[in-house]
């Protein structure tokens, strides 16, 4: 699919890090990163509109004083309402004063048109500061999360806000009737609460997923926390369920990944769900950082949101690469894509993705696909950060195309040079692989797309439930972007397939 570079550090923004975020809609891909809002054509990647994030909020009617800036962007397209939604938080350039969630809704499916914005006090009672905003929605409401700090920068706990969706879709839009749940407890609700981006027919209230620990102690942890936001569409009447702890395989914070220049100061984050949690019907899909065999890896989960149980979990790893800052998306057919960054002592920091398919209730991922190769080892230390790390991330985003759900889009980062990050926007096509067969003389010629590298041709004499598939030993020939295997015709019935 389409694969192009979006924004570039030093050209479009001077932010460190980018907080790469964006989503696909019917006709556009919209990028919202720290410092820049851009709209691209889905057809050719042409940038159709661009402005600073501050200009975006001003255009949406949110007037911020000169001592305020904005950060931590989130953006989605809601297929059900055919609207775009964007979120950031503001912050005072001089103090850790109380701040606001900024929320904007488009007037229709065209992101280049009119948006209406709102500034919502993050903590109207305690006057504390919300960091790392998260964002989800379902048929009833929109939901914001934040990690709260006091003016002395002490960590306090998470918060959640529920906003009736009907008001945001009204003319004019309104956030009247929102519910602010105030300061919550880490020990009860977990760390970094991610409301789900819900699609399809969910039969239970909005789900919020969190890790039980950020892993800053470098110890293993084995718990997630699932909370439901009930009555999210009822003005002023939303409530939280009793949180449910979920036991999962151990996870731990990843050590900083290596780069070819020998450095190990690239910040690959902690164990939080840094990217959105997605929900398709009643299945939740989530992915986060972990450490496995002395490498950063991606731990993923499938969770039933109704009975609040873990359906399946696994780890995406690579024998050469440290993998980090994953984002995940899934469609109704059970196809799942995880996209992330990866690096090693021999490979520059690059963007990768892996596609998975759910068969008979079991999700299995294929091999990593390189989306964009990095061009250098990355070193750009924030002078205000005493740790001396090169900031990266803090997250990425992957979304399902609302027009063709077999197409996924992701926005990742890569180093354009040793001190310059850039974003890469990629369309991933997961259509079923077409295997064709035709008779040519005394041979049966089988072909399939050359893009399906790593797949095997297999055969079986019947399709009974107990049949055995056998790998065809003749190696395929790649020509004109097609794999071809030519086999002598036999006198018996044979079935063929290509699979990993």
Q: What are phi and psi of 53, to 5 degrees?
A: -65, -35
The residues, ordered by sequence, that sit 6+ positions from 259 with a Cβ below 8 Å of its Cβ are 266, 343, 344, 345, 348, 349, 377, 378
Among 259, 420, 255, 256, which Cα is nearest to 349's?
A: 259
Q: 229-245 b/e with 16+ CB inside 10 Å = b?
A: bbbbbbbeebebeebee
Show the tokens assigned to 51: 């402005």
DSSP-H helix ranges across 128-277: 165-168, 186-189
Q: Residue 42 pLDDT > 90, yes or no? A: yes
Of 3-17, 294-308, 466-480, which range is least confident?
466-480
**Domain assignment of residue 54, given as a range:** 3-429
What is the tens place of the pLDDT at every residue in 422-461? 999 999 999 777 899 999 999 999 998 876 667 789 999 9
Q: Residue 75 pLDDT > 70, yes or no? A: yes
Q: Tell me, yes or no, whether 47 and 30 share the same domain.
A: yes
Q: Tell me, yes or no, whether 464 and 411 share the same domain.
A: no
Q: Tell me, yes or no, whether 144 and 213 share the same domain.
A: yes
CB hemisphere CA count around 209 (13 angstroms): 33
Show the tokens assigned to 466: 């107990």
- Hunting for tokens 């239970």 — which residue is that? 204
Show the tokens assigned to 67: 């001592």
Of the pLDDT bands very low, low, confident and very high (cuts 50, 70, 90), residue 491 is: confident
User: How does strand 322-330 pair with strand 397-400?
Assistant: unpaired
Segment 162-183 mean pLDDT:
98
Please give the angle made by the CA atoms of 402, 88 and 20, to the nearest 5 degrees.
60
Among 167, 147, 157, 140, which Cα is nearest to 230's?
A: 140
What is the tens place of the pLDDT at every residue in 254-279? 999 999 999 999 999 999 999 999 99
Q: Domain boundary residue among 402, 429, 456?
A: 429
What is the tens place of the pLDDT at every residue in 397-407? 999 999 999 99
Q: Tell me, yes or no, whether 425 and 440 share the same domain.
A: no
Among 48, 66, 56, which Cα is nearest to 105's?
A: 56
Residue pair 375/416 in contact (Cβ under 8 Å)? The answer is yes
Show the tokens assigned to 65: 């004083």
User: How does strand 179-180 pair with strand 155-164?
Assistant: antiparallel
The whole-number pLDDT of residue 432 equals 73
Q: Tell me, yes or no, whether 376 and 448 share the same domain.
A: no
Mapped onto helix, strand or coil, the DSSP state of residue 56 is: helix
The whole-number pLDDT of residue 175 equals 98
Residue 230 is given by DSSP the state E
Taking 3-state DSSP, the helix, strand and coil percentages for the chain, each rounded to the nearest 5, stand at: 5, 50, 45
Q: Residue 73 pLDDT > 90, yes or no? A: yes
**Cα–Cα distance measured from residue 64 to residue 429, given in angstroms and rounded to the nearest whole number:** 41
Q: Tell me, yes or no, whether 229 and 284 share the same domain.
A: yes
Quote the pTM value: 0.89
Residue 29's domain is classified under what CATH number?
A: 2.130.10.10
Is 473 exposed, middle or buried, given 0-12, 13-18 or 19+ CB atoms closer than 10 A?
exposed
Residue pair 74/276 in contact (Cβ under 8 Å)? The answer is yes
Show the tokens assigned to 303: 């969770």
Q: Tell me, yes or no, whether 361 and 450 share the same domain.
A: no
In the chain, the number of structural domains is 2
Show the tokens assigned to 121: 């006090």
The whole-number pLDDT of residue 433 equals 75
What is the tens place of the pLDDT at every residue in 197-244? 999 999 999 999 999 999 999 999 999 999 999 999 999 999 999 999
Residue pair 400/408 in contact (Cβ under 8 Å)? The answer is yes
Segment 148-170 mean pLDDT:
97
Q: Tell me, yes or no, whether 40 and 83 share the same domain.
A: yes
Q: Tell me, yes or no, whether 135 and 284 share the same domain.
A: yes
**Cα–Cα distance measured from residue 135 to residue 127, given in angstroms and rounded to the nearest whole number:** 21
The whole-number pLDDT of residue 467 equals 85
Please give the angle made by the CA atoms of 256, 20 and 316, to the nearest 5 degrees.
50
Kindly report the three-state secondary structure assignment for every residue of 287-328.
EEEEEECCEEEEEEEEEECCCCEEEEEEEECCCCCEEEEEEE
The residues, ordered by sequence, that sit 6+ positions from 307 with a Cβ below 8 Å of its Cβ are none
The whole-number pLDDT of residue 450 equals 76
Q: Tell me, yes or no, whether 340 and 459 share the same domain.
A: no
Q: Tell me, yes or no, whether 330 and 380 share the same domain.
A: yes
The whole-number pLDDT of residue 378 equals 98
User: How does strand 277-280 pair with strand 191-199?
Assistant: parallel
Residue pair 434/452 in contact (Cβ under 8 Å)? The answer is no
What is the tens place of the pLDDT at every residue in 3-18? 999 999 999 999 999 9
How many CB atoms lie under 10 A from the CB of residue 500?
A: 11
Of the pLDDT bands very low, low, confident and very high (cuts 50, 70, 90), residue 126 is: very high
**Cα–Cα distance measured from residue 187 to residue 426, given in angstroms and rounded to the nearest whole number:** 38
Q: Domain boundary residue among 410, 429, 448?
A: 429
**Cα–Cα distance measured from residue 239 to residue 415, given in angstroms and rounded to the nearest whole number:** 44
The whole-number pLDDT of residue 453 equals 66
Is 446 exposed, middle or buried, given 0-12, 13-18 or 19+ CB atoms closer than 10 A?
buried
Q: Tell me, yes or no, whether 415 and 479 share the same domain.
A: no
The whole-number pLDDT of residue 451 equals 62
Of the pLDDT bands very low, low, confident and very high (cuts 50, 70, 90), residue 2 is: very high
Q: Domain boundary residue among 371, 406, 429?
A: 429
């Amino acid at each position: 699919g389409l694969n192009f570079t979006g924004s570039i550090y030093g050209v479009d923004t001077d932010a460190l890090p980018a907080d790469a975020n964006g989503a696909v809609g019917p006709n556009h891909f919209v990028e919202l990163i720290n410092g820049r809002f851009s709209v691209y054509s889905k057809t050719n990647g042409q940038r159709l509109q661009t402005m600073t994030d501050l200009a975006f909020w001003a255009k949406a009617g949110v007037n911020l004083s000169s001592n305020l800036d904005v950060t931590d962007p989130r953006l989605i397209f809601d297929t059900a309402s055919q609207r775009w939604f964007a979120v950031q938080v503001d912050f005072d350039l001089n103090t850790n004063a109380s701040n606001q969630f900024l929320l904007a809704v488009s007037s229709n499916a065209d992101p280049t048109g009119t948006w209406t914005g709102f500034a919502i006090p993050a903590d109207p009672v305690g006057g504390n500061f919300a960091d790392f905003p998260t964002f989800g929605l379902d048929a009833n409401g929109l939901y914001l999360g934040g990690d709260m700090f006091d003016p002395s920068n002490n960590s306090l706990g998470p918060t959640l806000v529920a906003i009736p969706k009907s008001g945001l879709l009204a003319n004019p839009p309104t956030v009247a009737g929102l519910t602010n749940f105030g300061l919550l407890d880490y020990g009860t609700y977990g760390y970094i609460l991610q409301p789900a981006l819900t699609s399809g027919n969910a039969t239970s209230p909005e789900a919020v997923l969190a890790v039980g620990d950020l892993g800053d102690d470098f110890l293993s942890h084995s718990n997630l926390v699932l909370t439901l936001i009930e009555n999210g569409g009822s003005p002023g009447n939303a409530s939280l369920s009793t949180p449910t702890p979920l036991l999962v395989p151990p996870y731990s914070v990843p050590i900083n990944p290596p780069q070819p220049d020998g450095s190990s100061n690239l910040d690959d984050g902690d164990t939080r769900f840094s990217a959105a949690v997605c929900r398709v019907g009643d299945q939740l899909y989530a992915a986060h950082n972990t450490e496995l065999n002395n490498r950063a890896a991606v731990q993923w989960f499938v969770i039933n949101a109704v009975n609040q149980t873990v359906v399946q979990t696994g780890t995406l790893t690579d024998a050469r690469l440290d993998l980090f800052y994953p984002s995940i998306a899934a469609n109704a057919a059970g196809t799942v894509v995880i996209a992330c960054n990866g690096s090693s002592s021999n490979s520059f920091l690059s963007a990768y993705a892996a596609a998975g398919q759910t068969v008979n209730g079991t999700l299995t991922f294929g091999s990593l696909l390189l989306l964009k190769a990095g061009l250098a080892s990355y070193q750009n230390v924030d002078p205000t950060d005493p740790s001396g790390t090169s900031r990266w991330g803090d997250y990425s985003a992957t979304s399902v195309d609302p027009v063709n759900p077999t197409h996924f889009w992701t926005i990742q980062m890569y180093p354009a040079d040793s001190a310059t990050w850039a974003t890469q926007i990629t369309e991933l096509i997961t259509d079923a692989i077409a295997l064709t067969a035709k008779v040519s003389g005394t041979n049966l010629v089988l072909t399939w797309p050359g893009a399906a590298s790593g797949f095997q041709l297999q055969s079986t004499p019947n399709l009974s439930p107990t049949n055995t598939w056998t790998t065809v030993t003749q190696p395929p020939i790649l020509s004109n972007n097609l794999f071809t295997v030519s086999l002598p015709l036999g006198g018996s019935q044979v079935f063929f397939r290509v699979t990993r």
